[in-house]
Structure 1
Amino acid sequence: MARGILLTANLPQLQNLIKRDPAGYREEFLQQWNHYISIRHIFQINPNEQANHFRELVSFIAQVTQCYPAETKEFPSHLSSLLLEHYGSLSPDIRHNLVQNLVMLKNKEVITSLELLKTLFPLLPRTTSSSLRTFIRKTILMDIRTANARSKNLKLNRAVQAMLFGMVERGMDAKASNDRKKDKEGSANGEGALWAIIVTKELWSKGVWDDAKSVAIVALGCFHPVVKVQSASLHFFLGGDEEDEDSDDDDEISGAQARSQEEDSQRRQQASQIVKAEGKKKKRKAKDALANANFPALDLLHDPQGFAEKLYDSLVRFDKRFQLDHKILIMQLLSRVAASHKLTVLGFYTYIMKYLTYHQLRVPGILACLVQSVHDFTPPDALTPVIAKLAQEFIHPGVGGEVIAAGLNSIREICRRQPWAIEEELLGDLIEYRKSRDKAVTSAARGLLQLFREVNPGMLKRRERGKNASMSLAEGQKPAAFGHGQEAAVDIEGLRMLEDHLTALREEDDAAGGDEVDEWDGWDVESEESSDSGDWINVDSDGEDNIDVSDSDDETEKKKAEEAKAEESLLPSTLATTKILTPADFALLNDLRVKAAEKAVESGAGPSAKRKLADLQSAQKASASADDRNTFISEQDILGPRKKAKADYEERMASIAKGREGREKFGSMKGKKNKETISSTTNREKKRNKPLMMIMGSKAVRGKKKASLRDKQRKLRAHIEKAKKAYH
């Protein structure tokens, strides 16, 4: 009896004894289990009654569940139902305790990861505690990362992705009427979809998920009716992170601000400076991240044309509801999808024309979106009105030089991607701006002229074409019209060098294989003694033509070398017909050609080899710069070179604070009294210390004596007015 009372009153001691001898303390455990069942029914009716005792019982049973799996098989479902069905009525301590015990059951392999995640995911949008939300979030991410550490856990990934997809889709169904009133259900659906997007983005950024299904989840979020969810999804494809999408960071920042208010004034100033610096750093990071789109995710989009058309439909449908910054985000994603997949959404160019005015807010970003959406498959007829609108709004004498430069740079970048989009007369008028006195305008106009000298010199006047362009036109070289491609290539120069390089690499890999490869050499070749037993003998496929009846081995080798040399000079490499060449293969091919040309120059080749090397190097640099231009265009490319902008208040204060470093006192140093060595005084101080007899003979004193009454009255009145102003 004493033993039972002791064990019932001391649950940690009973827990220790059960783990040592589960069979010996089975009756004591069943007693506590029955007690838990009765307390659980009472707790469901009134959660405030015996809450502490119920928490202790739950922790005790969770610790010893693996010792009695048959009796406690329903225990994990009890905890899950309490969290999912009675979450609002539970206290914060009970919620945290139940979640911790569920995680412990998963660690003890009592429940699976999928069962745990089915409980944790619905809790993310419902919890209001930052600590619990952080714990749930870290648990979810760590569990999925651990499951995919050695190899991809496809079963778990598919189940979790289906769960997240349902969270996003459920919110869209609830808001199908596009009603923007915030109710409890809509808010919960929006929060659930937001957390689904956040978890998907983090798993993608950590490299845990890199498949098309995770991209499909975020792609669905791009059309969610809640703007915050849509914005987070758009930032995923654009490569940046929204500042306010992580509520945990907001809680941490607010907590830091609350703590800083309790400190002294000096530490508050330091904290405010740190916050300002971090804010600038976040903006700078967001800007840099926005310049690097998430191209792997764009490549994994399912039906990119349909995705782009849906983005355009959302722009047109909710044009009055969306703010300008959000519309620019949609434009950026639409333009990048169009550029990445060579898509055409003709209505987009008609829609964007209403924003092409020089007084439009954030017009450089809008121009960047316009330029980014253009490619060589874009119809010129759709771009000609856009270029005419740009010239009409941005390029005329009534605007500043920066506006004209932005318009010229935009037209230049559009024509770089589609040279047939501009009319010949308009091009001639724009090129005349190279005679402007503004440096930015002159640079932009010269860039446009240089571009058409390269891509389509026939649209320029004869005196503007330049030497190289005139020579190419004289030789009959003309750019292909829209819709016409280049002639099919018969062979690729230097392809045999690439084939030899790949063969050499393959031989090195075979040689690095060790003795294992050597042991298996000739395993299918029988000995000479068994050659008469009717086995197959490997021979060339050419049959009798390759059989040389000559008695001399030297003649045979010489003849074979001549045939190989003749074959190499006549026939192209078979690499193009047996392998799909990737961009990496072409880059390697160009490097091999450059190296071969360098070796030829070093060996003392003629001037033709040097010219060939220079052409290859310039072409390599031009292709690299062209890839950079086509990959992304920023607002700085639209604005062009500019003067240094005027510093704002924060930058001026930072400059002042930097100048004060190392100084003992922030004040005037007139007279230099604070210096260790005495230096000369100012002229005003010298006048104060002059003898009276020297001052009496000065011009100023004599003028006062000879001043008229009117002058004295005027000076007195001015003195009175000045004193009044100083007093007020």
Structure 2
Amino acid sequence: MGKSKNSRGILLTSNLPQLQNLIKRDPKGYREEFLTQYNHYLSLLRLQSSSTSAGTNNDKSAELFADLITFICQVAQCYPEETKDLTVQLKDLLLGGGNGASVVGGDLRKTIVKNLVMLRNKEVISSIELLQILLPLLPHVPASLRSLIRHTILTDIKTSNAKTKNHRLNRVVQSLLFGMIESGMGAEVVGDKGKGKGKEIGGEAMWAVMMVRELWKKGVWNDAKTVSIAALAAFHPNTKVQSAALHFFLGSDNGTDEDSDEEEGIREARRDVRKIEHQMQVGKSGKKKQRMLKEVKKDENKKRQDKVDRVGAIPNFPALELLHDPQTFGEKLYDNLHRHDKQYSLDHKMLIMQLLSRVMGAHKLCVLGFYSYIIKYLTYHQLQVTLVLVSLAQSVHELTPPDVLTPVIRKIAQEFVHPGVGAEVIAAGINAIREVCRRQPWCMEEDLLGDLIEYRKSKDKGVTTAARGLLQLFREVNPGMLKRRERGKAASMGIATLQAPAYGHTAAASEGIEGLELLEEHFAALKKEANGGVSDDSDAEMVVDEDDEAGWENWDVESDSSSASSGWEDVLSDGDDLVISDSEDEKPVKGKKRKLGDDDDEVEKKTEKKRKVIGDGEEDEDEDMDDGKSVVSVATTSMTAESGTVKKLSLLAQQKILTPADFALLNDLRLKAAQSIVESGLGGSGAKRKLAALEASKRHVGEDEASRFLTESEILGPRKKVKQDYEERMEHIKKGREGREKFGSLKGKKNKETKSSSTNREKQRNKPIMMAVHSNKVLQKKKQSLRDKQIKLRAAIEKQKKLKH
């Protein structure tokens, strides 16, 4: 019996999967067998470290060591005391001395990573311990293992933050990412012009930015600390790390993995083009190869255009809003751009300029050196000049000093707007000037404005549209800069009020809600309809719906996500009256009634005067009813400032909290009112512009806040449609033929309901040869000159080419 036990023990120690199964069933009974294998594992661990340092590594021992690691990790939860140092041992194997260089490699390293993930799934180790091992390992492993590690990290963080935010884990991982970026911040900037010159640094920082980008995109991390990591990476010495961080803020989806795949696809397409071109040079060049060459060239151009289109993606506006110190960030961006101007390529400088301009526009920053720097790029032959103009316009806001912008406007006018350039260049220049003046009207000079709006008489549509847009802008914001005949009727009548606020002054705060009287009339009509057509005007107070829950459905989706809300505030509920005052300096006094403002005082005086004149009795009751009827109209009536009467507060705004559904209804009512005015022909061109603005705002409801930024199409303006090539025309023709019968005559066709005689072409084809040789057509062909034959032959060849395509 003892002999059988001995043989059974030998069998178990040589069959690790069987022993693993038995240990999970009875850990205490097989403890001795486990310790035997664990001691074997420790001896191979010491041997592995010594053989790696000596440079001698046996594949057979490495395979046995991998099997032992898998076995120990599988049963580690059964013997927690014996395997308490297992995680540290595996970490030393992967990270070595802590510099990220692995002691083991190949399949053994992959086995260790998989077993660490298994330990995390079994909750033997925590997420923090796992991520502290895997994150530094990312830059030092091959692509196959890197994808596994990256997927593991992202999945673990996402799972840990699924129900509630795991702040402890997030802080640890963010600190690791900060350290990965800061590790190379002290190196020298090489730039991206001389690629291959100098030592590449920043591998860890690149993967840190990628982790931040992925977690931000998935919605796992969306706090200010995440943005701070990307902001730090925007000033890394490695331009690839900088570019990844800049793309994060710009909203483009250019990561290292996607970018590398994109570049590889472009390179493969280019190799195919060169291969076919070489085959055509050394071998026979047929029509088939020409078609193949055309197709691969089209594929290459499409891939290149897709990459170019991705640069102008939607900006990451929430990330820009969460910047900790925007002014310092903008100044450092400009300093980086100006200092390394000769080291950075144009594409990289354009990324920095786009981000700097968006930060300046979003936070109303004044980085005055940027405008003197950008002047040298304001030439029509400059590459990517439209992006330069977009960056310039986006950086301007109402707090930008006009004196700084005036030389920039002159430079654009001198370089882009003159008879020596094309119409597209002139249109782009005027559109750029218009966008700058829209944000800061005082940067324009009267003489220059007069010259620019003269281009509205141009024969080119794009130039005319751009000049008219500039003229219309100054009619609205500052008609005093225009000549009298150019102001228009509406601007001339309201020139006293249509004046841009002086530099440093903000526009007056809006009073009330525009069009609220339309909503009041709509509610009054609904109330009248509910009462059976009888208007109950004795009560001056409007009836407010008791159940407004339907109007608040999805309110957080419909509302602006970026607007900061301070939440609900507690008010006095002791029965004391609340004191309301128009002055900010006055403090409310407890126990007193609210003070009457000028509006309420004036209304009360008028009411008292009417009552004194009418007296008591029946006439007084009629007057009260009249007052009740006209409450809404009085509340929404407004007059000019010269008359001394100011706008009354709407009754609806006092009695009801408007829901998002109410605002949507208000927009529809305003749109219908504007349409009725335009159809009646009473509003003129101003009513048409207002209708167009309302329709545009309705189309753009729910769009991202990226609409605050400009695009290249807004600078280029409407352009003349380019003539289609042969492929585009044929595609258009084929699209028009879809869903209809084949075009052509059915004369003589067999599929007709009633068959008819053959066509003349069919008769000529079947004509006897002896009759054909004596025909006039054949005789004339014999008498043709050599020149006539050449012309007809060339025409026939061209016709065959078109038919084959």
TM bucket normalised to smaller: 0.7 to 0.9
Q: For residues 711-722 of structure 1, what are the structure 2 equivalents within 5 Å?
A: none
Q: Among residues 698, 712, 715, which one is paired with 1:638 in the alignment?
A: 715
Distance 1:696 1:376 in 2: 80
Q: CA deviation at 1:617?
A: 5.3
2:551–2:660 contact (8 Å) kept in structure 1: no
Deviation string 1:201-220 (CA, Å, 9 cap, x unpaired) is 01111111111111111111
Closer, same or farther in 2 for the Cα pair 1:489/1:220, shift >3 Å? same
Q: Hey, what's the Cα distance between the residues in 1 that align with 2:299 and 2:782? A: 60
Q: The residue matched to 1:364 in structure 2 has which SS?
A: helix
Letter in 1 for 2:503: F
Which segment is superposed worse, 23-32 or 561-570? 561-570
Question: What letter matches 2:499 in structure 1?
Answer: K
Partner Cα separation in structure 1 for residue 436 and residue 421 of structure 2: 22
Whole-angstrom distance in 2 between the partners of 1:400 and 1:21: 87
Partner of 1:467: 489
Establish whether residue 236 from structure 1 lines up as the match of residue 313 from structure 2: no
How many residues end up aligned between the 2 structures? 636
Amino acid at match of 2:482: L
Matches within 5 A, 1:655-666: none
Assess, with a 3 A threshold, how the Cα gap between structure 1 residues 154 and 428 changes in structure 2: closer, same or farther: same
Q: TM-score of the superposition, structure 1-length normalised? A: 0.74
* Cα contact 1:387–1:411 (8 A) shared by 2: yes
The one-character-per-residue Cα deviations of 1:477-517 (angstroms, maximum 9, x if unpaired) are: 43322222334556556779799999856677999xxxxxx
Q: Using structure 2 for the length normalisation, give the TM-score.
A: 0.67
Distance 1:146 1:111 in 2: 15
Give the one of 60, 63, 85 matched to 1:74. Answer: 85
Counterpart mapping for 1:439-450 below 5 A: 439-450=461-472
1:514 paired residue number: none
Residue of 502, 506, 510 corresponding to 1:485: 506
Q: Shift of the alpha carbon at 1:456?
A: 1.4
How big is the shift at 1:700?
4.4
1:306-317 equivalences in 2 (<5 Å): 306-317=328-339
SS of corresponding position for 2:139: coil
Q: Which residue of 1 aligns with 2:401?
A: 379
Distance in 2 (alpha carbons) for counterparts of 1:249 and 1:259: 15
Structure 1: how far apart are the matches of 2:419 and 2:46? Answer: 83
| 1:657, distance to aligned residue in structure 2 (A) | 9.6
Alignment of 1:363-374 (within 5 A): 363-374=385-396
Partners of 1:114 and 1:156 within 8 A in 2: yes
Q: Is the 8 A contact 1:125 1:195 kept in 2?
A: yes
- Counterpart contact for 1:291–1:632, Cα < 8 Å: no
Measured against aligned partners, the alpha-carbon deviations of 1:568-599 in whole angstroms (never above 9, x if no partner) come to 978847999999x9xxx898775454466689
> Structure 2 residue aligned with 1:53, among 48, 64, 73?
64
Residue in 1 that maps onto 2:643: none
Bigger Cα displacement from structure 2, 174-183 vs 287-296: 174-183
Question: Which deviates more from structure 2 when the two are superposed, residues 135-144 or residues 480-489?
Answer: 480-489
Q: Does 1:394 align with 2:394?
A: no
- C-alpha deviations, 1:157-182, integer Å up to 9, x for none? 11111111111111213447989999
Partner AA of 1:35 in structure 2: H
2:104 to 90, 93, 96: 90
Query: Residue by residue, what CA displacement relative to the aligned partner does 1:420-447 show, whole Å, maximum 9, x if unpaired?
Result: 1110001111111122222222222122
Within 1, Cα distance between the matches of 2:41 and 2:315? 55
Q: Which amino acid aligns with 2:396?
A: V
| 1:10 aligns to 2:15 (yes or no) | yes
What residue number does 2:533 align with? none
- Cα distance in 2, alignment partners of residues 687 and 456 from structure 1: 87
Matches of 1:148 and 1:46 in 2, distance apart? 42
Where do 1:405-420 residues align within 5 Å?
405-420=427-442
2:355 pairs with 1:333: yes
CA distance 1:171–1:608, shift in 2 (3 Å)? same
Distance of aligned partners of 1:411 and 1:297 in 2 relative to their CA distance in 1, 3 Å threshold: same
SS of the equivalent of 2:140 reads coil
Aligned residue in 2 for 1:119: 133
Q: Which of 212, 215, 240 does residue 203 from structure 1 map onto?
A: 215
- Separation of aligned partners in 2, 1:503 and 1:594: 19
Does 1:62 find its partner at 2:73? yes
C-alpha contact (below 8 Å) 2:544/2:655 kept by paired residues: no
Q: Deviations along 1:658-684, whole A, 9 cap, x unmatched?
A: 99999xxxxxxxxxxxxx995868xxx
1:403 to 388, 402, 425: 425
Distance 1:172 1:464 in 2: 57
Amino acid paired to 1:484: H
1:164 aligns with 2:177: yes
Trace 1:419-568 onto structure 2 (pairs within 5 A): 419-473=441-495, 477-488=498-509, 491-492=512-513, 504=546
Instruction: Verify the 8 A CA contact 1:431 1:446 in the aligned structure 2.
Output: yes
Percent of aligned pairs with the same amino acid: 50
CA contact (8 A) 1:434 1:445 kept: yes
Paired amino acid for 1:51: A
What aligned pairs does 1:103-252 form with structure 2 within 5 A after superposition? Answer: 103-127=117-141, 129-175=142-188, 187=200, 189-242=201-254, 244-246=256-258, 249=261
Q: For residues 244 and 659 of structure 1, do their structure 2 counterparts lie closer, same or farther at Cα, with a shift above 3 Å needed?
A: farther
* Structure 2 CA distance for partners of 1:686 and 1:95, relative to 1, 3 Å: farther
Q: Is the 8 A contact 2:577 2:592 kept in 1?
A: no
Cα gap change, 1:214/1:427 in structure 2, threshold over 3 Å: closer, same or farther?
same
Q: Is the 8 A contact 1:402 1:440 kept in 2?
A: yes
Q: Does the residue aligned with 1:124 lie in a helix, a strand or coil?
A: helix
Alignment gaps of 5+ in structure 2: 1-5, 280-287, 524-541, 554-572, 579-590, 594-621, 636-647, 738-758, 790-805
In the alignment, is residue 351 of structure 1 matched against residue 363 of structure 2?
Answer: no
Do 2:192 and 2:345's aligned partners in 1 also have CA atoms closer than 8 Å? no
AA aligned opposite 2:445:
E
Q: Which has the higher helix share?
A: 1
Report SS of the residue matched to 2:202.
helix
Aligned equivalents of 2:491, 2:265: Cα separation in 1: 60
Aligned partner of 2:603 in structure 1 is none
- Name the CA distance, whole Å, in 1 between partners of 2:48 and 2:186: 35
Other structure's SS at 2:28 match: coil
Contact 2:387-2:712 at 8 Å conserved across structures:
yes
CA 1:490–1:658: 2 relative to 1, 3 Å: closer
Q: Is the 8 A contact 2:675 2:691 kept in 1?
A: no
Contact 2:13 2:19 in 1 (8 A): yes
Give the whole-Å Cα distance in 2 for the aligned partners of 1:694 and 1:509: 89
Q: Which runs of 5+ in 1 are unaligned?
A: 512-536, 546-557, 663-675, 705-728
With over 3 angstroms needed to count, the CA separation of the structure-2 counterparts of 1:432 and 1:253, relative to structure 1, is: closer
Q: What does 1:586-665 align with in structure 2 at a 5 Å threshold?
A: 591=664, 593-594=666-667, 620-621=694-695, 631-645=708-722
Equivalent residues of 2:94, 2:109 under 8 A apart: yes
Structure 1 pair 212–433 and aligned structure 2 pair: CA distance change class (3 A): same
* CA pair 431-689 structure 1, distance change in 2 beyond 3 A: farther
- Cα deviation 1:92-131 (Å, max 9, x = unaligned): 111111110111111111111111111111111111x221
Which amino acid is the alignment partner of residue 17 of structure 2?
P
Distance 1:272 1:134, change over 3 A: farther
Amino acid at match of 1:634: T
**1:15–1:63 Cα contact (<8 Å) kept:** yes
Letter in 1 for 2:222: D
RMSD of equivalent CA atoms = 5.2
1:237 Cα deviation after fit: 1.0
Q: Is the contact between residue 390 and residue 411 of structure 1 (CA under 8 Å) also seen in structure 2? A: yes
What is the DSSP-based 3-state SS (H/G/I as helix, E as strand, rest coil) of the residue aligned with 2:27? coil
Alpha-carbon offset, residue 65 of structure 1: 0.5
